[in-house]
Amino acid sequence: MTSNFLNLYTHDFARVAIAAPICRIADPAYNAAQTIALAEQAAAQGAALVAFPELGLSAYTCDDLFHQRALLDGCLDALDSIVAASQQWKLALVVGVPLRVEHQLYNCAVVIANGQIQGVVPKSYLPNYGEFYDARQFSSGDYAVATEIDLLGERVQFGSGLLFEVADMPLFKFHVEICEDVWVPIPPSSFAALAGATVLVNLSASNALVGKAGYRNQLVSQQSARCISAYLYTSAGTGESTTDLAWDGQGVICENGELLAESKRFSDEATLTFADIDLERLSRERMRMNTFAQSVQRHAAEVNKFRTVFFELEIGRDEPLALKRCVERFPYVPADARRRDERCNEVYNIQVQALAQRLTSSGIKKIVIGISGGLDSTHALLVCARVMDKLNLPRTNILAYTMPGFATSERTLKQAHALMKLVGCSAQEIDIRPSCIQMLKDLNHPYSEGQAQYDITFENVQAGERTNHLFRLANHHHAIVCGTGDLSELALGWCTYGVGDHMSHYNVNASVPKTLISHLVRWVAESGVIGRNDAQVLLDILATEISPELVPGAADGQPEQRTESTIGPYELQDFNLYYVLRFGFRPSKVAFLALTAWQDKEKGRWPDGDHVTRNQYGLGAIKKNLGIFLDRFFRTSQFKRSCVPNAPKVGSGGSLSPRGDWRAPSDAQSVVWLEELRSIPVQEAGN
C-alpha cells in the first residue's frame, strides 16, 4: 500500500467520530436511515470508526415496548440495512440495538465493517435506580452463556470481553462498553485497556441534568487518562422521549486525559464530531510507564478473558489527509491566556521553592549570579529576587555581576544595569577583557597579537573567565552560584563545557525551555510579582535578539553573532525537543506535526516547501532545522548533559538531567535519526 507523507494515517493517527442522530421512538427504519447518512459523512471525511448512541436503532426511551416483537423484528431489519450499506465504506461503525439471545433480551453494541457484523457486545451493568429501569427490560451481558450467536444469517462473536483490532492498523484495537459501564468503580474498559485496547468506545443514553455534562466530561477524561487510551463517548439527543427526562446529545472524545473534541449539546440537528487520535502516543506512554505493565500482570485473570476479533479496513493512505487536530506551535506554552498565566505562576513558584530549599539546607544566605542583559539570566535573577523575599532576606544578598567582554553591546550592558537596579540587588560590573587578554597571551592566540581571529577558543576564553570569576566570588562571599542556562541550550549543547555557562552550584532554568522563559519574563513584567516598579527593562530584554555576544559584530567588519542562525529558531527546536524527548517520535512524524502546527491557519493549507515567514515554516525549513537538532541532540551534546548541576524539574515535557528523565551514552551516533529524516519528501509540501 502506498503511503503519503501528508496523510495522517501514515503517522499512526486515526480519525474517529461520534454521532448523535435525530431519532424517532420505535421507528427503526427511520433511525437506520439517519445512521447510514451520518456514517456516509464519516466515511467521506476519512474516519476509521464512528460510534452511535445506546439503543439508537430503537431509541433508548422505549421502556416496555422493548418486549414487543414487532419492534425487535424492526430493529433487525434496520440493522440488516446498515450492514448492507457498510460494504461501500472503509470504516467501522458501532450501533446500539436490542437483541434476543437464548430467551434473554440484551442491550447491545454491534460492530459493523466491510458489509459484515464483526461482533456484538452486551451491556454489563444495568442501572435500576433513580430514573433508570434497565434491569426491568434487559439482562446483564456478564452472565450470558453464549460466546457466539446467529445474527442475520451470520455466526458472530458475542460477549462483553471482545476486542476489535484493525489488521492493517496494528495500534488500533478498540473495546466497546455501554453507558453505565463507565460509571462503576472498575469499568469493563479498564480491563480492556490492560488487554491491549487503545481506543475505548461508549454508547450512551445519559439524560440531561444540571451539572451532569461537566461530570461526564470529567468521567470520560479521567477514564482515558487512567487507561492511557482514547475514549469516545456518544449519547442520545433529540427525538428521545421527554415524558420525564430531557436529552442533550453530549458527545466527548478524549485522549489520555486531554479533551480533543466535544459535540454541541441540545442541537436540533444531527451532530457528527471528529477527532484524530494519536495511537503511537498512547502506545509509547504505556511502554514508558512500566506500572501499566505491572497492572496487566496483577489483573492477568481478567485480562485473559478477552477475545480479539480481527478485520481489515483498507484505509486509503496514498492521498493527502491533513490532521484535524490542534497541534500547538509552542508545546511548552499553553495557547490559552488564562492557562498560560497559571503555567507561568506554577513554573516560577517551582523554581523559587527549589532554590529556597537549596539555600536553607546548605545554610547559605547569598547568591552570586552573572547578568548579561539577555533573557535567561534575567529570568534567573527574577527567581532569585523572589527567593530572597520568601526567606525574609534582603535582595542585596543577591550579588549580581555584569561582565562585559569583547563583543558586549551597549544595549545589553545598559539593560543589565537597569535590570539589577529594578530588582534591588547588589550590582557590580567586572570587565573581563584584561584577564581574557592575559589568557589569550598565555595561549599564544593570534588575537593577543592583534589578529582578528574569532574562533571557538576566543569565545570560550570569555565564557570561562566569567564562570571562573563567579565561582571565586561565591567562595569569597560564602555564596552559591546560580546557573542561568535553559533546557533548550542543554538540548542543543549550546553552552561552554565545564568552566563555562555549563556549570554552577544550582541552576533554576535547566528544565525550562527558551520559549517558556520568554513568557515567564513577560508574565513577571505584567503581573508585578517582584514589585510594581517600572518593568520596561523586561520588555526591552524580550525584544533583544538572542546572541552569546562573544564575537565582535558589524562594527569590526564581522557579521553580527546570532544564536538562531547557527542552531535554528528556538520555536522550532523547542517543538522538536518536546516530541523527541517526551514521546520518542521518529523524525518524519515530528516534521508532520510541525508542518501541521505551522500551517497557514487562515487559508487552511500547508505552506509551500521552503516558504518561511514570521511564525510560519514550510517543510523544507522544518526538515533542515530538525536535522540540526537531531545531530546536535543525539551525537554532539550528551557529554555536557551527563554532568549537569542540580536543578528542579518543572514540567512533564521532561528534563535532561542524567538523574531524571534522560540517560543516554555520550558517544552515541545520530545516523538512524538522520536516515529516517531523509525519507521526508520535501516536494510534497505543497497545498
Q: In angstroms, how far is CA 678 from the centroid of its own chain?
A: 25
pLDDT above 90 as % of the chain: 87
- 494 labeled part of a ligand binding site: yes
Asked whether the predicted pLDDT for residue 82 surpasses 80, the reply is: yes
User: In whole numbers, what is the pLDDT of the chain averaged over residues?
Assistant: 93
With a CB cutoff of 8 Å and minimum separation 6, the contacts of 113 are 86, 91, 92, 93, 311, 313
Asked whether the predicted pLDDT for residue 607 surpasses 60, the reply is: no
With a CB cutoff of 8 Å and minimum separation 6, the contacts of 69 are none
| Per-residue pLDDT tens over the stretch 191-248 | 999 999 999 999 999 899 999 999 999 999 999 999 999 999 999 999 999 999 998 9
- 489 labeled part of a ligand binding site: yes
What CATH number has the domain spanning 8-124+160-311? 3.60.110.10
- How would residue 94 be classed by pLDDT, with cut points 50, 70 and 90? very high
C-alpha to C-alpha distance for 344 and 520, rounded to whole angstroms: 6
Q: Based on the number of CB atoms within 10 Å of its own CB, is 260 exposed (0-12), middle (13-18) or buried (19 or more)?
A: buried
The predicted pLDDT at position 583 comes to 95
Q: Is 75 a catalytic residue?
A: no
Q: Is 123 a catalytic residue?
A: yes
| Per-residue pLDDT tens over the stretch 548-598 | 899 987 444 445 678 898 999 999 999 999 999 999 999 999 999 999 999
- 484 labeled part of a ligand binding site: yes
C-alpha to C-alpha distance for 229 and 411, rounded to whole angstroms: 51
- 655 labeled part of a ligand binding site: no
Closest C-alpha among 110, 123, 93, 127 to residue 207: 127
- How would residue 533 be classed by pLDDT, with cut points 50, 70 and 90? low
- 496 labeled part of a ligand binding site: yes
- How would residue 316 be classed by pLDDT, with cut points 50, 70 and 90? confident
The answer to whether 8-124+160-311 and 337-679 have equal CATH topology is no
Q: Considering only 201-215, 232-246, 408-422, 518-532, which range has the smallest mean pLDDT? A: 518-532
The predicted pLDDT at position 561 comes to 76
Question: Which of the residues 54, 255, 280, 459 is marked catalytic?
Answer: 54
CA-to-CA dists, residue 635 to 413, 502, 632, angstroms: 35, 18, 6
Q: Is 365 a catalytic residue?
A: no
Global confidence as pTM: 0.92
Question: Which of the residues 179, 344, 436, 482 is marked catalytic?
Answer: 179
Is 3.40.50.620 the CATH number for 337-679? yes
Cell of 452: 582578528
- 366 labeled part of a ligand binding site: no
C-alpha to C-alpha distance for 435 and 472, rounded to whole angstroms: 14
Cell of 666: 555520550
The backbone region for 157, taken as left when phi is positive above 0, alpha when psi lies in -120 to 50, beta otherwise, is beta
Q: Measured on CA atoms in the order 170, 172, 175, 176, is the torsion positive or negative?
A: negative
Is the CB of residue 401 less than 8 Å from the CB of residue 369?
A: yes
Question: What one-character-per-residue DSSP string does 315-377 give?
Answer: ---SS-B---S---S-TTS-SSHHHHHHHHHHHHHHHHHHHHHHHHHHT---EEEE--SSHHH
- 212 labeled part of a ligand binding site: yes
CA-to-CA dists, residue 212 to 203, 216, 383, 654, angstroms: 17, 6, 42, 35
The structural domains of the chain, with segments of one domain joined by +, span 8-124+160-311, 337-679
Question: Which of the residues 23, 75, 108, 123 is marked catalytic?
Answer: 123
Question: Which amino acid makes up residue 244?
Answer: D
- 523 labeled part of a ligand binding site: no
How are the residues of the chain apportioned to helix, strand and coil, as percentages rounded to the nearest 5?
45, 15, 40
CA-to-CA dists, residue 592 to 564, 579, 623, 673, 685, angstroms: 22, 11, 10, 15, 10
